[in-house]
Structure 1
Amino acid sequence: MKLAQALGANALADKDPLPPHLREQLLARDPLFVASHWLLAGAAMVGVIVALATVRPWGARVPRRLLLAITGTLGVFMIARSIGVLGFGFVGDVLLLTGVRPPPVEHASLARDLARWDLLLWSPFFLLWGVCWATAGWRLGRASRVAPVRRCESSTR
């Protein structure tokens, strides 16, 4: 999505949980936001490579501790974001939508709309993503503790 937005698409750009002044900059394609989308698209591509390194044979050349640190950190970060530890997430959205935590007066309607989108789309997405990263790290850690299996090469006849 960030790559599409960096290239000019507005896919879900109006649903990003941002304060109104930042949303306006995002929708106006402010150079800072375009640059940040290119950086995030690049980070996603690096993430794909890291994810593949946890399951592909060529990933054995990457230090396991580094891969474990990256997958664990990303898993914790994504799950914390989905729960609401980082401001947005299930807890914060429910508190806002039930009125326990009042939205900012200057943009209450927008805050409720974004909380609904976050509750139904972004938070579940980050939870799933975080669980996938944590699972990849867990499997990698388990595989690292098991001695590698040596294959017997069959000779040609």
Structure 2
Amino acid sequence: MRWAAYGTCVCTAAYGLMKLAQALGATALADKDPLRPDLRERLLARDPLFVASHWILFTAAVVGILLALATVRPWGNRLPRRLIAFTTWALGVFMVIRSIGPVGFGFLGDALILTGLRPPPARYAELTRHLAHWDLMLWSPFFLTWGVLWIATAWHFTRRKGVRQTGTRHPLEPVP
């Protein structure tokens, strides 16, 4: 089951590298971000808050890679198990919920917009439908995959052999 942690690292690295590129001035997929029109304009204009958010998200991605690796590497045993378990589960659930989209974008939100069951604002109807298509084809499947990988990583980490329920491992027990 180490494949889940390494798959999580790949998704996290891809997202982090995209945010790094955007922080450095690239527009890679920036115009496809499912944002409200006013926020989208600020993003494309390189508003300082959005540039800062890209740096923060890049840093969070680096931390995420280390977190995923901590679930399968020996040095991860020195970190608090409950914190790792809680964070990996929470990230997975959050990303799956984002991909489903009970509010806003996500499979459900995109479907509602594209079928006309939730009409977009008339002023931004074309843009909203365009972004819903992109979200349906790219972002929602990506977040679903990424979330499922986080959940699989968390599940494997919490059920790993050689680790006691108290979260401590005997020093002579082998690291799985």
Q: TM-score, normalised by structure 2?
A: 0.81
Determine whether 1:110 maps to 2:127.
yes
Determine whether 1:89 maps to 2:100.
no
- Give aligned pairs, total: 151
1:143 aligned counterpart, secondary structure: coil
- List alignment gaps of at least 5 residues for structure 1: 152-157
Query: Which stretch has the larger CA shift, 32-41 or 86-95?
Result: 86-95
Determine whether 1:26 maps to 2:43.
yes
Q: TM-score, normalised by structure 1?
A: 0.91
- Indicate the residue corresponding to 1:67 in structure 2: 84
Larger-Rg structure: 1
Q: 1:69-125: CA deviations, max 9, x gaps? A: 000100100000000134210011011101111111110000000000000000000
Q: 4+ residue runs of structure 1 moved beyond 4 angstroms?
A: 144-149
Higher RCO structure, 1 or 2 (CA under 8 Å, sep 6+): 2
Query: Which stretch has the larger CA shift, 81-90 or 101-110?
Result: 81-90
Identity %: 66
Query: Which stretch has the larger CA shift, 109-118 or 141-150?
Result: 141-150
Pairing of 1:1-157 with structure 2 (within 5 A): 1-143=18-160, 150=173
RMSD: 1.5
- List alignment gaps of at least 5 residues for structure 2: 1-17
- Structure 1 letter corresponding to 2:54: H
2:160 aligned counterpart, secondary structure: helix
